Amino acid sequence: MSLESLCREVAREHRLPAGETRAILEQTLSDALTEAFGRRVIVSLSGEDLAIYRETGRSGPEGLERLYPRQIRKEVVRLCRYRVETELNRRKAIREYDFLKPLQGSVVRGVVDWVMHDGSLAVLFPVDELFNCREVAGTCPVAQQPPRERGAYRQGESRFFFVSSVRLVGWDKELLVQIRLSRTTRRLPEALLTVETGMTGIRCTRRIAGKISQIESRKRLSREAILAVAAELGERVKVIWESSAGP
């Protein structure tokens, strides 16, 4: 595989722009080799040419010495591979976070992929990109599941979830995007009714997940929308219109 093709393949695998990937490779390799040799090393990827130069400490034309891959020890090569993979994954996580952060505060329809040993749910849901759609994973902890639903979820089951948080977290020196989902928050019936009716100004003032949600609305909501949300949540949805909620 040519150097140019390799850069494109690495960029595709890590969902990064080709130009940014090339810059990451150059900088990370330069830093790793500088650390290994104890002198500044400059790496340049130009077309099909991999150029490695090490400063010699002398002045003039002899100030830079060209190195070739065969001159680099295996342990240094392993260090370079580790540093490059770590940095590529870090940049990928940051871009992923920037892309997914706007999901926080929205409602998604997800499929239960599997139930974890502690009862938490691994949920997959679709996210639209510019030219396609892909699946993203989120987690719904037991504490964010209505008591009546805990232990009753099955693989492949489809439910609505509220995206309570999208965070970039560090784990074992790596960055990961962590998406937390909820089925107990008051925001869920609010958002579902907003989607069903297309109306704004809907507030859930009180909720006992799995039993009742008390809703206040500026306008009357259709019976069909209320029943649809009640069926999804498995609870009574009581709506009070603001015109009738006053003293």
Long-range contacts of 212-220, Cβ-Cβ distance < 8 Å, separation of 24 or more: 212/236, 212/237, 212/238, 213/186, 213/189, 213/237, 213/238, 214/238, 214/240, 215/189, 215/190, 215/239, 215/240, 216/240, 216/241, 216/242, 216/245, 217/193, 217/241, 217/242, 218/242
List, for residues 137-181, the tens digit of each pLDDT value: 999 999 999 999 999 999 999 999 999 999 999 865 688 899 999
Where does the pLDDT of residue 84 fall: very low under 50, low under 70, confident under 90, or very high at 90 and above?
Answer: very high
Look at residue 11 in the predicted model and tell me its pLDDT.
86
Mean pLDDT for the stretch of residues 39-58: 86
According to DSSP, the residues that pair with 55 across neighbouring strands are: 64
Residue 50 has pLDDT above 90, yes or no: no
Which of the following CATH numbers is that of domain 104-182: 3.40.50.300, 3.40.50.720, 2.40.50.140, 3.30.470.20? 2.40.50.140
Where does the pLDDT of residue 196 fall: very low under 50, low under 70, confident under 90, or very high at 90 and above?
Answer: very high
**Distance (Å, whole) CA 207 – CA 177:** 29
Instruction: Calculate the average pLDDT of the chain.
Output: 90
Mean pLDDT for the stretch of residues 6-35: 89
Where does the pLDDT of residue 247 fall: very low under 50, low under 70, confident under 90, or very high at 90 and above?
Answer: very low
Torsion, CA 27, CA 29, CA 32, CA 35, rounded to 10: -80
Of 36-45, 114-123, 137-146, 235-244, the poorest mean pLDDT is in 235-244
